[in-house]
Amino acid sequence: MKSKKPSQDALLVRNLTKSLLQYIQGKRYNPATCEQLIAQLGVQPIHIERFKKILEDAVANQKISLRGGKYIPYSGATLTTGTISVHPKGFGFVKNELGSDVFIPKQRMGGAVDGDEVEIEIDSNVSAKGPEGTVVAIVKRSRANLAGIVVSQEGDRFLAFSPLLGAEKSIRVSVAKGETLTEGDRIICRVTSWNALGSSIEGSLLQRIGHISDPSIDIKAAIAEFNLLKDFSAEAIQEAQSFGSKVSPNSQKGRLDLTEIECVTIDPDTARDFDDAISLTKDEKGHFRLGVHIADVAYYVQSGTHLDKESFERCNSTYFPGQCVPMLPEELSNELCSLKPKVKRLTQSVLAEFDPQGNLVRYKIVRSVIKSQKRFTYKEALAVLEKQAKSTHAPLLERMVEFCLILKRKRFERGSIDFALTENALIVDKNGTPSHIEKIEYDITHQMIEEFMLKANELVAIHLNAQGKTLIYRIHEEPSAESFKDFYAFARILGFHLPPQPTHRDIQKLFEEAKSSSLLSQLSVSFIRSMRLAAYSADNIGHYGLALEHYCHFTSPIRRYTDLIIQRLLWDEIPEGCNIQQISTKCSEKERLSFRAESSVVVLKKLRLAATYFEQNPNQVYKAVITRVKPFALFFEVSLFNLEGSLHVSEIGRDYYEYDPFRMTFKGSHTGKTFVAGQEIHITLTGVNFILQQAVWALSQEPSTPSARKQKR
């Protein structure tokens, strides 16, 4: 008996099903809606209803899954949701229900942008970065608006580059009748469709901020781009102003009067909010009595007030070159809560006694009132210590140095790593135009303030933990041995000795040796990249970088909401039902957001500075140090601008260069010329694209000097 041939309809269903499953299970597939699949597979209008039924059956038979309105391959894996934090290079992290970060590779982001609530599938295999996953659905978008820079016009619409989306995805912007845009305009647009086909999304113009050529609007654009809150509500301003301009006698009642003790503040030149003041005495037994006095922000910003709600929405201050977007109104941040000299201020004080070896003898935490006797900048304090300036507080500063070195030794003994990195401060004028980069050395004045703040934070965390309270810890997970492999290889390439299986002490010794080396910065950056980010959590897993079991943030309540919560916890001023973990998570997310906003402005300002040099001398040769070598490119840092750049392998010479993954090098097969991490190279700048925020570099020969030319002859 002959088998019955399948009907034409059955053949159609079979073919459509086969095409659908092959397409969805393909490596290049991105989660798509029903309408998108119809367009992508070219389903004829006559077959659309049948195709929709095929989709339903495929989901019912667990051939594919439907998540957030989009179809994905079926895996049977457990799914979880969370908020995604996206790195400027395109990859992301999602904190899962267990509290750890899940790494999302760039190609598995599924169209998610920073702050989106996403559903992810966690891989069963764990990489050196920890658990990895894939975005399978976007549950909720973090924003309705996007910032962009106009690149070109396309018919009646304009194409805009969005730093948030990256170069691979643009915005197609529609404008109202009679409006127009020009190349380089910085804009805010409302997203009308995230799911537009191709490499763009749809949006409509909301606001034109200005032009990319104008440096005075860089911060304004970043505030809009990252959706930062700049202005305070009238109610919050009114609450801040209600305290007046002076500390009232009534507010001092019940506090320990410390107005007669010698205490000072030491801060950067440009600081206007002084969180902390220091006092330090030494008795005849050699015991040190340290006082760390922190502005009592909790007295002014109480739970449930407008000030509290506004500060929680921000979670932290954001610091741009030449400008701060504060967490608190200036009436508090720069006035009543700022520990200015010669005026009374309300504080919370950690008063601790230590023996000559730096061991804690006793401590107490009190609410107090102080009167700072002197406001030092770091430079002024250093000048006094180096006998270049005179001060009645010189003995106090010298005691600070003595006690600082004792605490540093104690910290080293417990395994903490000291990077001692130079800070690069970008200096801008009143119009936002960058003039130069100032190197700020990590001198003894910075070190002693850091040591005293670390000790106060540690003591407060121990104190609250001993009381059995749930608090916000500052945590730093210990990295896996696997994640350090690249760092070990990099350190050996730079010429540092490490045993086959390095211990924590070996790494400490490595950085002590590197302090006198020009390679310290590259080594430190590589080490930091190997570690996970520090974060806030109600679960205490310790702080790996500081080698501390208990650690929290307490010393900067003017600029960090976590510190304000810690201040309230000390005096049982937390309302019932307060969700500490929820606050921790939000503060971690806002911290990363501020960092991204700050970094975006700093990079653009550095590009502006580089462009100024290029205009003055297009042929100038710059020194750079190779920081990483990848199979397709080498990456370097231009010393003058502290700016990262890259060269594709095809741009480093006419030779054929082979990549050695073990030595992380490029080697010319004919010339034998080698490029390796840590090597100094010379480059020239060929152009700066402000719209795409990129500098284009070319490899150059080492510039000849008169002595070199003479030797050559």
Q: What CATH number is associated with residue 638?
A: 2.40.50.140
Are both 429 and 449 inside the same structural domain?
A: yes
Are both 630 and 648 inside the same structural domain?
A: yes
Residue 406 lies in a domain: yes
- Helix/strand/coil for 341: strand
Are both 693 and 566 inside the same structural domain?
A: no
Cα–Cα distance measured from residue 318 to residue 540, given in angstroms and rounded to the nearest whole number: 26
Cα–Cα distance measured from residue 77 to residue 24, given in angstroms and rounded to the nearest whole number: 17
Are both 85 and 56 inside the same structural domain?
A: no
Are both 319 and 413 inside the same structural domain?
A: yes
| Residue 59: predicted pLDDT | 85
Among left, alpha and beta (phi > 0; psi -120 to 50; other), residue 118 is beta
The residue among 140, 169, 190 that closes a domain is 140
36 closest CA partner among 13, 58, 55, 10: 55
Parent domain of 120: 79-140
- Is there a contact between 194 and 139 (Cβ–Cβ < 8 Å)? no
Which CB contacts under 8 angstroms, 24+ apart, belong to 610-616?
610/638, 610/641, 610/643, 610/685, 610/688, 610/695, 611/688, 611/690, 612/434, 613/640, 613/685, 614/685, 614/687, 614/688
| Residue 707: predicted pLDDT | 41
Are both 97 and 171 inside the same structural domain?
A: no
Please state the φ and ψ torsions of residue 231, each to the nearest 5 degrees. -95, 150
Quote the pTM value.
0.83
703 closest CA partner among 687, 686, 681, 688: 681
- Is there a contact between 31 and 65 (Cβ–Cβ < 8 Å)? no
The residue among 73, 89, 115 that closes a domain is 73
Are both 170 and 129 inside the same structural domain?
A: no
The residue type of 189 is C
Residue 94 lies in a domain: yes
Q: Say which CATH number the domain at 67 has.
A: 1.10.10
Please state the φ and ψ torsions of residue 550, each to the nearest 5 degrees. -125, 125
Q: What is the pLDDT of residues 535-556, one digit of tens each?
A: 999 999 899 888 899 999 999 9
Cα–Cα distance measured from residue 206 to residue 145, given in angstroms and rounded to the nearest whole number: 9
Are both 104 and 136 inside the same structural domain?
A: yes
Cα–Cα distance measured from residue 136 to residue 67, given in angstroms and rounded to the nearest whole number: 7
Are both 202 and 270 inside the same structural domain?
A: no
Residue 485 lies in a domain: no
Are both 279 and 350 inside the same structural domain?
A: yes
Are both 409 and 396 inside the same structural domain?
A: yes
If one counts the domains in the chain, the total is: 5
| Residue 709: predicted pLDDT | 40
The parts of the chain modelled with pLDDT lower than 50 are 1-3, 704-713
CA 535, chain centre distance (Å): 11
E strands, 234-326, where? 256-258, 264-267, 276-282, 288-295, 318-320, 323-325
Are both 186 and 290 inside the same structural domain?
A: no
